[in-house]
């Protein structure tokens, strides 16, 4: 059996980021004796891979459920020293009801925080998002922003608003008194758009390219620069933040703060980034948008009006909306020097390595995706 040590709970452990967080905890943190995984579904093949990686050194414990289940949370948090809360619902299209989105992202986070306090959990890291900042409705740009950047933000996506509300709950809980007389330390990480192996968004872009005859859709203009971040580096940032929270001096610096997480991935538009990693597989991309931006906005507005008119009769969800178009066509880049200063964050994976691993993964699934799409 593992020796007594740190016990981590990773919510959303079956997810894209959650998997990487668990792997890096197993690989890099010698003080960990147990990692607990909380998610509604746990893939058996993933669990077997993680168990093989742990090799008996670290105990893996699975809790099936979500953050709205009080009974599960009480069991999962008992004896835990650090919670990494990576679970949330991402919805920028309107597939989910407002009530369910708020219940999971906000109330679920509130319930998890309350449970952590009851169970004397010392550290809590929240996976936030750059989208809690914007872009705003006007599409005001940010170039190399940081935590001190003032931005006139009026968020339209309910997803963004729920993530921001949950983040503020987490930060406000910092230094709350625990029953054992200690204080909980909390912080939030705001990664850019996360890419890498097992990203369902990248699979969607790949599918669209295959359907379009190996031509990727250009949905963002070249000038709309963003700086995506590799999933392995985001997971690494979580581990480094957790280590800082265990340090009596650094936890006073990190506690109650939020941090942007970036790496050396090139600053390009969303569309050009897709081409960067999929181009080696034979995919091409047009140089320009296939429609003027104003026309794209008008079409999106028309579809939104149709959605409103049909709402009493049928559930119609447009494939795009005005704010999604704004997000894809707004220059929005950030730097992570504060994370480097406060908890020694330096990306673990270079762009060359991240690109190679992402493209290799895409190459491994592209034929399967072609076969699946051809059967439809």
CA distance linking residue 1 with residue 33, whole number of Å: 9
pLDDT recorded at residue 282: 96
Q: Given a cut of 70, is residue 149 above it in pLDDT?
A: yes
CA distance linking residue 200 with residue 45, whole number of Å: 17
pLDDT recorded at residue 56: 85
pLDDT recorded at residue 98: 80
Domain boundaries defined on the chain = 6-199+229-264+334-352
pLDDT recorded at residue 114: 97
Q: pLDDT of 250-262, one tens digit each?
A: 999 999 999 999 9
CA distance linking residue 13 with residue 147, whole number of Å: 28
Q: pLDDT of 277-294, one tens digit each?
A: 999 999 999 999 989 999
Q: Given a cut of 70, is residue 101 above it in pLDDT?
A: yes
Question: Of 32, 33, 43, whose CA–CA distance to 198 is shortest?
Answer: 43
Mean pLDDT of 74-86: 96
Q: pLDDT of 18-39, one tens digit each?
A: 999 999 999 987 789 999 999 9
Specify the 3-state DSSP secondary structure of 336: coil
pLDDT recorded at residue 2: 39
- In the structure, what pLDDT confidence band is assigned to residue 113 with cuts at 50, 70 and 90? very high
CATH topology of domain 6-199+229-264+334-352: Rossmann fold (3.40.50)
Q: How far is CA 148 from CA 5, 37, 337, 357, in A?
A: 37, 34, 11, 33
Which are the contacts of 233, defined by CB distance < 8 A and separation ≥ 6?
261, 263, 347, 348, 349, 354
Q: Given a cut of 60, is residue 374 above it in pLDDT?
A: yes
Specify the 3-state DSSP secondary structure of 223: coil
Question: Of 11, 111, 14, whose CA–CA distance to 71 is shortest?
Answer: 111
Question: Of 243, 195, 263, 247, whose CA–CA distance to 84 is shortest?
Answer: 243
Mean pLDDT of 128-146: 93
Q: pLDDT of 342-358, one tens digit each?
A: 999 999 999 999 999 99
Q: What is the pTM of this model?
A: 0.94
Q: Where are the beta strands (DSSP E) in the chain?
A: 6-11, 32-39, 59-64, 82-85, 123-127, 142-145, 185-191, 194-195, 229-230, 257-261, 332-334
Q: pLDDT of 293-305, one tens digit each?
A: 999 999 999 998 9
Q: Indicate which residues carry an active-site annotation.
A: 159
pLDDT recorded at residue 1: 36
Query: Which of 26-30, 168-172, 266-270, 343-347 has the weakest average pLDDT?
Result: 26-30
CA distance linking residue 265 with residue 273, whole number of Å: 9
Q: Given a cut of 90, is residue 367 above it in pLDDT?
A: yes
Q: Given a cut of 60, is residue 3 above it in pLDDT?
A: no
Average pLDDT of the chain to the nearest whole number: 93
């Amino acid at each position: 059996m593992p020796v007594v040590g740190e016990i981590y709970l990773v919510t959303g452990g079956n997810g894209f980021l959650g998997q990487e967080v668990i792997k890096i905890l197993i690989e890099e943190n010698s003080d960990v004796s147990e990692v607990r995984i909380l998610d509604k579904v746990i893939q058996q093949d993933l669990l077997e891979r993680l168990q093989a990686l742990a090799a008996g050194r670290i105990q893996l414990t699975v809790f099936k459920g979500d953050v709205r289940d009080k009974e599960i949370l009480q069991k999962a948090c008992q004896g835990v020293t650090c919670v990494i809360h990576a679970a949330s619902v991402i919805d920028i299209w309107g597939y989910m009801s407002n009530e369910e989105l708020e219940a999971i992202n906000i109330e679920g986070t509130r319930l998890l925080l309350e449970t952590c306090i009851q169970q004397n959990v010392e550290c809590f890291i929240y996976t936030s998002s750059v989208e809690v900042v914007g872009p705003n409705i006007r599409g005001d740009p940010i170039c190399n922003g940081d935590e001190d950047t003032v931005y006139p933000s009026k968020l339209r996506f309910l997803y963004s608003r729920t993530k921001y509300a949950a983040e503020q709950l987490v930060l406000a809980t910092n230094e709350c008194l625990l029953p054992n007389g200690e204080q909980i330390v909390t912080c939030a990480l705001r990664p850019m758009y996360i890419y890498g192996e097992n990203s369902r968004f990248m699979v969607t872009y790949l599918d669209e390219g295959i359907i379009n005859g190996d031509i990727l859709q250009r949905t963002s203009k070249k000038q709309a620069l963003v700086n995506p971040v590799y999933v392995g580096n985001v997971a690494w940032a979580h581990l480094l933040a957790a280590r800082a929270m265990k340090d009596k001096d650094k936890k006073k610096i990190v506690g109650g703060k939020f941090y942007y997480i970036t790496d050396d991935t090139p600053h390009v538009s969303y569309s050009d980034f897709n081409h960067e990693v999929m181009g080696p597989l034979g995919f091409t991309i047009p140089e320009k948008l296939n429609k003027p931006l104003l026309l794209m906005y008008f079409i999106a507005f028309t579809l939104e009006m149709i959605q409103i008119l049909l709402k009493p009769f049928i559930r119609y969800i447009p494939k795009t909306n005005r704010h999604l178009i704004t997000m894809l066509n707004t220059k929005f880049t950030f730097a992570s020097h504060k994370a480097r200063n406060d908890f020694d964050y330096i990306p673990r994976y270079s762009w060359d390595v991240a690109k190679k691993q992402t493209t290799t993964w895409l190459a491994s699934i592209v034929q399967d995706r072609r076969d699946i799409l051809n059967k439809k």
